[in-house]
Structure 1
Amino acid sequence: MTHVQTLQARFDAQRRAFAAEPWPDLAQRRDRLARLATMTRRHRDEISRAIASDFGYRAEAESRLAEVATVLQAIRHARRHLRRWMRPRRAAVPWRLKPGRARVHRQPLGVVGIIAPFNYPWNLAMLPAVDALAAGNRVLIKPSEHTPVTSALMARLAERYFSAEELCVVEGGMGVAKAFAALPFDHLLFTGGGRIGREVARAAATNLTPVTLELGGKTPAIVADDADLTRAAERIAFGKWLNAGQTCIAPDHVLVESARLPALVEALKAAVADFYPKGCTSADYSAVVGERQQSRLTAMLEEARDHGCRVIELGERRELPDGGVKLPPVLVVDPNEGLAIMREEIFGPWLPIVGVRDFDAALAHVNAGPRPLALYAFTDDAERRRRVLETTHSGGVVFNDTLWHSAVPALPFGGVGDSGMGAYHGEAGFRRFSHERSVFIQARRNAVSLLNPPYRRWLLKLLGL
């Protein structure tokens, strides 16, 4: 069978399995989540090695932190709260319809499709799977073809711990991805770039498949004039150079008052030196995946240089024995807005530092661009925080740090506008992959028959209708 034929067969099998068992009980759902946890925990060393192989080099600590620990934490949270999430929720009934009762019944959708990217290949396949399994669905995963070793491991482990009718991983290239997006899923979640996200949405629209799109974008970090620059630089450096900048919510660029820009540059240099004292040779610094990504980033930086930007390299490029490449942290000072580094999501270790007049100018800069997946603001001023929350739009907001909102299972994670649509994680994910079904239970003795034709005008007036 071809990959596409295998895909169709797996989808059909999951459809039949869901039709035969449309309501997995609490014990079944917890069991599936427990098996997913065991699969992740027991094979975490294999997972780390597979990702390192695909990247050319991935810091083991980053794989444990960002791939394994986050999934295990999400599973613990889901298993702990699942009984409450599954419980029907009472709804208020208008007095005219009493003593009838109403409730919201959260029902599994059916078969959920997940298209995962290359940058966090285990995390971004398994985190939505946690929510979909908790909601009682069958799950079909298409991992990235750019991380073939991890994808193959994921497929083997899924076969060992799950039946293909529960959770299945289908490998393949672009042809399989297109066929995957065209299947009539009950919900489809895609994580990746905006261009491919639009193609996925178009394919899903043919079947009226609801989609959740996590698309990233140019996430800004604002450093206000009351911020501690040393602390701000440390947290920006952590968020930016984790996974060599290949994080959808990494700080894409920094907005700082022009008078404080030189001091922030020095603070960022110091933070990078503390984090990676051996530069790109540090065991804690990861490689950039694939020649295409490396070429795109190199061209972006060369354009900035050609246009006279001040480029500060905080290390040297390192070619790895197995073909991987480590690109160093680089600061680009005050690049022109027309350059690719300011128009496109960087998704790598380059960090533009943009000088602005003041905090108001920084907010105006944010609002002039597409709505980002995250927004970081370094300030202790309550009024400025209020203005960030009330006058800007982004998927999430973090004050005085970066990234960590995504590690809180009780917070929804998702984009808005160009950065995506829909959110998941925790109860938000459970609801995303459930149908909230309206239920009304009529009482044996009720007065609604008084509203039958022929209508009594005096009664309608009495009831305020």
Structure 2
Amino acid sequence: MNPPDLHRLFEAQHYASRFQVEVPLLVRRERLLRIRKMLDEHGAVLAAAVQADFGMRSPRLTEVADFLVLRNLLNQCLRKLARWMRPQRVRTPLYLLPARARIERQPLGVVGVISPWNYPVQLALAPAITALAAGNRVMLKPSELTPHTSAQLAALVEQFFSPDEFCVVQGDASVATQFSGLPFDHLVFTGSTAVGRRVAQAAAVHLTPTTLELGGKSPCLIDENCDLDDAALKIAHGKLLNAGQTCVAPDYLLLPRGREQAFAQAYRNAVARLYPTIVGNPDYASILTKRHLARLRQMLRQAQSLGARIDVMGPAQAQPGEAAASFWSDAAERQMPPALVFGATSEMQLMQEEIFGPILPVITYERLDDVVAALNAGPRPLALYWFGSDENVRDGILRRTVSGGVTVNDTLMHIAHDNLPFGGVGDSGWGAYHGEQGFLRFSHQKSVLLQSRWSLGALFYPPYGPRLDRLMGLLRRWS
């Protein structure tokens, strides 16, 4: 899409948002129902497009990872939208009585959404659904790395919506740069921290508020009092869903020293249970491109050259040597077997960057205080996962660390909770959406004071004198 066409689309939405500032409940609900109809009637086509982009990613995986979240979000918005839209009465302080006050929730106008490739349907439509529920117009720029999915989204949105309601902009990184420079009323970006910084800088030119859903290195902390078999299964599920190409996947493991061998065996058993085979298994996603796969392999080679031990989790029926040979050859193509990395250190690439693949570094510790200090010394992560049975230890970790979200004794699941806001903090992003928090993120909360004809405001008018002094004294005593 060339710049003039992009600007024409934006101007059409901008004009429509200013022409119809008030967006009634029925209009908003009808737009959400159109998205539901689109997913119900064309979900199989979208899942096939995702499969084409990844090479190996079963429609069932897309149903769980993309459509389930979207359907739950739509159901929640349709069920609660009327309540979310109601003006909120607020208490009026004594010195302003008998005035009344309320907060009105209004659409912002035009919301831009730049979505990533890893969950190309969910992360494109979830913020769009919430922004439409808040009464906004939406322009969506999906990833150019999933061209089949982006093309299907563009065709379907064009079929179900007029361009001044909701439209999809396709194009490469240069189009994304132009897109992020439009004077939106709000801009949502999901992706890497590095690109998020550039998006924030482009939006700042127009003072466009942003929601940045970034990544980072989300730790998974195993306590001494922990069922390793149960923890390993849940960690393997969180790490290997979509082959680790998940922003809230456990990025590295913090394990009590001396339990390395026990965890390795528990993790191997968990992988075998979840994925009896790797190559050709449609439930185990491919790494998106050869370039992404080469980066992950390079991470492992560098870690190995610096003294790390690589433990490859092959198919259950394969011997470790066979699994390793498969791993290092091109026979596996882009279905990369899971790997544990023991002895990971800070100078290794896989401990400096978000991994975004099925590699799990394991770092051992002796004292929890050292773990807390290390977590607080680095960038704040998008998620933190804690496994254990001691509630006092758990609560101490939660009090002493900061992360975008937390799941205790599991992974990923806080993001699936409709009423929990999802977002990062610091380098992992800012702003949150999901549920009512998302509705508020994409709404302007307008303060309204309804003054009474019996207002006492004149008591505070100049000229000032003893009368004001007496009044201020009374207010101090009553406050």
TM-score range, shorter chain: over 0.9
Give the whole-Å Cα distance in 2 for the aligned partners of 1:336 and 1:452: 67
Q: Does 1:385 align with 2:384?
A: no
What residue number does 1:360 align with? 369
Structure 2's unaligned 5+ residue stretches are 315-325
Q: Which residue of 2 aligns with 1:140?
A: 139
**Distance in 2 separating the partners of 1:267 and 1:361:** 25
Counterpart AA for 2:43: R
CA distance in 1, matches of 2:423, 2:8: 31
SS at match of 2:259: helix
Q: Which amino acid aligns with 1:30?
A: R
Partner residue, 2:258: 259
| Distance in structure 1 (CA, Å) of the matches to 2:145 and 2:403 | 28
- 2:311 maps to which residue? 312
Retained in 2: the 8 A contact 1:394–1:415? yes
Q: Distance in 2 between matches of 1:380 and 1:439?
A: 49
- Secondary structure of 2:117's match? coil
Counterpart pick for 1:421 among 430, 448, 451 = 430
Q: Which amino acid aligns with 1:205?
A: A
Equivalent residue, structure 2, for 1:441: 450
* Residue type at the aligned position of 1:399: V
Q: Which moved more, 1:22-31 or 1:444-453?
A: 444-453
Mapped partners of 1:93, 1:112: distance in 2: 33
| Corresponding residue of 1:343 | 352
Q: Is the 8 A contact 1:212 1:420 kept in 2?
A: yes
CA distance in 2, matches of 1:377, 1:280: 31
Distance (Å, rounded) in 2 between the aligned partners of 1:18 and 1:442: 29
In the aligned structure 2, how far is the partner of 1:231 from the partner of 1:416? 29
Give how far 1:273 is off.
Answer: 0.7
Q: After superposing the two structures, state which structure 1 stretch, 257-266 or 453-462, moved more.
A: 453-462
- 3-state SS in 2 of match to 1:367: helix
Residues in 2 aligned to 1:301 and 1:60: alpha-carbon distance in whole angstroms: 30
- 1:106 is matched by which residue type in structure 2? R
Could you tell me how far apart the structure 2 residues matched to 1:457 and 1:38 are?
A: 69
> In 2, Cα distance between the equivalents of 1:451 and 1:60?
67
For residues 343 and 457 of structure 1, what CA distance do their matches in structure 2 show?
A: 66
Range with bigger deviation, 50-59 or 182-191: 50-59
Task: Measure how far apart 1:320 and its partner are.
Answer: 8.2
Alignment partners' CA distance in 1, 2:65 and 2:451: 50
Q: C-alpha distance in 1, partners of 2:388/2:100?
A: 48
Q: How does 1:45-124 map to 2 (within 5 A)?
A: 45-124=44-123
Q: Distance in 1 between matches of 2:259 and 2:40?
A: 45
SS of the aligned residue for 2:220 comes to strand
**Distance in 1 of aligned mates of 2:307 and 2:208:** 48
- Cα deviations across residues 370-412 of structure 1 (Å, max 9, x unaligned)? 1000000002212112112211010001100000111111110
Q: 1:55-82: CA deviations, max 9, x gaps?
A: 1111322200111110111010111111
Rounded Cα–Cα distance in structure 2 between residues aligned with 1:33 and 1:320: 45
How far off its partner does 1:360 sit?
Answer: 2.7
Match for 2:339 among 323, 330, 338? Answer: 330
Question: Take 2:456 and 2:24, find their aligned partners in 1: how far apart are those partners?
Answer: 37
Residue 285 (structure 1) aligned with residue 284 (structure 2): yes
> Does the 8 Å contact 2:278/2:335 carry over to 1?
no
The whole-number CA distance in structure 2 between the counterparts of 1:242 and 1:280 is: 15
* SS at structure 2 position matched to 1:281: coil
Aligned in 2, Cα 1:59/1:359: closer, same or farther, shift over 3 Å? farther
Consecutive unaligned residues in structure 1, runs of 5 or more: none
Corresponding residue SS for 1:254: strand
Distance 2:125 2:424 in 1: 19
Cα pair 1:286 1:326 within 8 Å, conserved:
yes
Instruction: For residue 111 of structure 1, report the CA deviation from its aligned partner.
Output: 0.1
User: What one-letter code is carried by the residue in structure 2 that aligns with 1:33?
Assistant: L
Match of 1:301 in 2: 300
Question: Shift in Å at residue 11 of structure 1?
Answer: 0.6
Cross-structure match for 1:402:
411
Match of 1:8 in 2: 7
- TM-score, structure 2 normalization: 0.94
- SS class of match (2:258): helix
Counterpart secondary structure, 2:175: helix
Calculate percent identity across the aligned residue pairs.
47
With structure 1 as the length reference, what TM-score do the two structures score?
A: 0.97
Q: Which residue of 2 aligns with 1:372?
A: 381
| Alignment partners' CA distance in 1, 2:141 and 2:331 | 29
Between 40-49 and 222-231, the greater mean CA deviation after superposition = 40-49
- In 2, the alpha carbon distance for the partners of 1:365 and 1:217 equals 15
Number of equivalenced pairs: 462
Deviations 1:301-351 (A, max 9, x none): 110111121101112348689xx6111101101211110011110000111
Q: Please give the secondary structure, in 2, of the residue aligned with 1:8.
A: helix
Q: What is the RMSD of the two structures over their aligned residues, measured on CA atoms?
A: 1.4
Whether contact under 8 Å (1:257, 1:359) holds in the other structure is: no
**Letter of the aligned partner of 2:37 in structure 1?**
T
Contact 1:374/1:397 (CA < 8 Å) preserved in 2? yes
Give 1:163's aligned residue: 162
Q: Which residue of 2 aligns with 1:463?
A: 472
Q: How does 1:119-130 map to 2 (within 5 A)?
A: 119-130=118-129
Shift of 1:358: 3.2
CA distance in 2, matches of 1:430, 1:394: 22
SS in 1 for 2:279: helix
Please report how far the alpha carbon of residue 40 of structure 1 lies from its aligned counterpart in structure 2 after TM superposition: 1.5
Paired AA for residue 239 in structure 1: G
Which residue of structure 1 aligns with residue 461 of structure 2? 452
Between the aligned partners of 2:35 and 2:344, the Cα distance in structure 1 is: 45
Q: Deviations over 1:24-72 (max 9, x none)?
A: 1111111111111111222111111101111111132220011111011
